[in-house]
Structure 1
Amino acid sequence: MRAIGRDRGGALAFALVVLVASVVPVPGSSGGGGSALGGVLDVLPAGVGLTDQFHLVGYAVLAALLVPVTRGNRFGPLLAAGGAVAFGLGIELVQAPIPWRSFALRDAAVNAVGAAVGAAIAAGRARVSRLTSDRDGGR
């Protein structure tokens, strides 16, 4: 029971970091001043925004942290991914009225992809760990 509480705490702490990072001004936006990134944006492929990687990785990590919280539930990884997707959509809604932020359906979609990938990886790792533990006699 103690591990589940620790899992919840880690997921909650990370979600709080994502929330804070999602509402503060961004360099180069109307509320964040000049960009310190120089020509970095010129290197990215067409259609890929600078924040796409942060959305993808951030929501993959969040979903992966939620998988152990749903342990024991047959649909745990699906619930973890769904929770991360819902959280991301909620953050997009919170950003809508913030002058230096905006609601972006594209960001929500990238969040969903990241959440699915993170939940799948975490569920796969948990399954391999269980199989290895069973094979080794639970040592």
Structure 2
Amino acid sequence: MTDRDERPRATGRGPEPTARAPELTARDRTRALAFALVVFVGSVVPVPSSSGGGGGALAGALDVLPAGIGLTDPFHLVGYAVLAALLVPVTLEFRLGPLLAAAVAVAFGFGIELVQAPIPWRSFAWGDAAVNAGGAVIGAAVAVVRGRGPASANDREAER
């Protein structure tokens, strides 16, 4: 049997298999899961409040941000961009893998907002959910542009 015979072939139905090594996929899954756990923990722990006496350095930081941008918005944007980018290689076995990666990151972000709703020191915020979604789309797009996304049709033909 030759290498050509051992490669998975596209059937035209369902997701096309990739030629990635299983250990690379497992490593990618572990990284994405670990980062998702970090995002989750960071989303439920108490944070210093800017209300009350003086406000300290946090109040000064709020004065630097443009109107309409909250203190946590950059963290939401970057966090969900990284999460989606880490999910792109995990979803390569699907035809629309990057879209699925972005959708999973958006759903995860919305789920975290729902988890935050009953937590006294946190709250549900549609604005945060929107920033999460924007970050997820940006992260998936950057991952594809940087070559972490699905191979092009020409690349698949070259592998055959």
Shift of 1:73: 1.6
Q: Please report the TM-score for the alignment, with normalisation by the length of structure 1.
A: 0.86
Q: Choose which of 109, 114, 117 in structure 2 pairs with 1:88.
A: 109
Matching of residue 64 in structure 1 with residue 85 in structure 2: yes
Matching of residue 104 in structure 1 with residue 128 in structure 2: no
Q: Give the distance between the partners of 2:150 and 2:109, measured in 1 at CA.
A: 29
Q: Give the distance between the partners of 1:43 and 1:118, measured in 2 at CA.
A: 26
Q: Is the 8 A contact 2:50 2:59 kept in 1?
A: no
**Contiguous gaps of at least 5 residues in structure 1:** none
Q: Is the 8 A contact 2:81 2:139 kept in 1?
A: yes
Q: Please report the TM-score for the alignment, with normalisation by the length of structure 2.
A: 0.75
- Percent of residue pairs identical: 72
Structure of greater Rg: 2
| C-alpha RMSD over aligned residues | 2.1
Q: Report runs of 4+ in structure 1 exceeding 4 Å deviation.
A: 127-131
* Aligned positions, number: 131
CA deviation profile, 1:86-128 (whole Å, cap 9, x unmatched): 0000000000000000000110000000000000000111269
**Contiguous gaps of at least 5 residues in structure 2:** 1-21
Shift of 1:82: 0.2
